Structure 1
Amino acid sequence: MRAEASAVVTGLGASLRVGACQTPEILGDVEGALRCVEEFAGRADADLLLFPECFLQGYLVEERHVREHAVGLGSARFAGVLRRLARIEQTLVFGVIEESGGRYFNSAVVVSRGELVGVYRKTHLVPGEALFTKGEEYPTFVLRGVRFGVNICFDTRFPEAAAPIAAQGARLLLVPAQNMMPRAAALDWKERHHAIRAERARETGMWLVSADVTGERDETRVGWGPTSVMDPQGVVVGRVPVGVAGVVVGSVPCE
């Protein structure tokens, strides 16, 4: 699976280089998802790579798919995933359908050199996500002097999802998303995502980096992203072109 486009947004001084990966939609194929991670990791000059929502197993909120593919983060299955990722130098943030205590979560994990650093569980669920349990915490993490947190897709509609992360001194908000939509809705939302995310950036003073899928699922659904880097003023300073699998790398200042 070859990334077809790349872009670099330069910064001054010490910084964290964050790569936002716009990928094809991969459904029910963990091996394919891991190959995709390896492909991007092999070509992106970044300290951290961000992948879309539910990326590991694919975002399909149907009971059969969720039950079959959900994984416990302490399970042997997920340990195998971590072993596979151990040789990747970049810190990775990617979406996972998580099972814990008989409940399912739309989660994003932070992984470094094959070690699970932490997890964020989506706190604002769309009506179609009734199979999931909403999360309640807003953990933050530090890499190369930059504190960051995660909101997942629909979370960005709500100021109260970004605010607790900024309150912990975070400079960066990562947004794994998955906007494979019916064609009419995809057209309607094509640029609206940026307007909403710009509000969160300006409110909090954080950089915002998002990663999404692109391409067509079938004749009715299409994914147009966006996958982009946004500065604290809400200005999009770099993005992957619509309809193209690729990565944009932005530099977030450490101070």
Structure 2
Amino acid sequence: MKSINSYFFTTILISISVIICILPVLFLIYMLGDQNISYDLNDWADFGSYIGGTTNTLISILSLITLAYLTYIVGKQSSIENKNVNLLMRKLDAFDALAAYMPRFNVFAHEFSRNSRILAKEIDSSIKSAEYFNAKSNIIKNVSFMFELNYFLYSYKTRYSHLFSYDFDSKEHLDLIGVSEKVNQYFNDFACNIEIDGQIKSGVNLNEIEEFALRLKKLIISLKSELK
């Protein structure tokens, strides 16, 4: 569409230029068509002044019109480019906010696994070591991270879906949200049982955790492909 408009404008500009150049000559021929060709240099000098005076004025007007049009085109193009740059920057911010959770989740899952093994070793012991209490404290303190991540994923569509072409209503994304809620509930129940009863009553489904990590990674890759 852009090339068609440029071609149309160029054609019109050339046509007007040709008309401007020949119009004064045609007018002069019409007015003095029955006169003989003059051999007086003064007559030809007057003719040159006439042509220059009329065509220069019209060409100046045409130049102003062309300059105005080019200014409009450059301004419009700059506006489009600024809009695209702004959109890309907002996409990058949204993507970075999501991608930052992936390494944090990996650390969280690793630490939770390590601390839960420590608890399992001493859960039935009447005498608990300092390591046990540290592990218990870390699980209770850090479980809020999964709640934070789950809420972030749940609200991501509302906050950022207008920036991406990714289908946030797809089964793939809805499955991610569903698995996220399950994993969040697993961790929350585990921490609550440890804090209130001092017992491990509900285990964490490792398959669900792995599925969640894979689905989250897939979402990150899908959104990253749009940052071009």
State the TM bucket, normalised to the shorter chain: under 0.3
- The normalised TM-score by structure 1 is 0.20
Q: Which structure carries more relative contact order (alpha carbon 8 Å, separation 6+)?
A: 1
Q: Which has the higher strand share?
A: 1
> Which structure's residues are more often helix, by fraction?
2
Could you say which structure has the larger radius of gyration?
A: 2
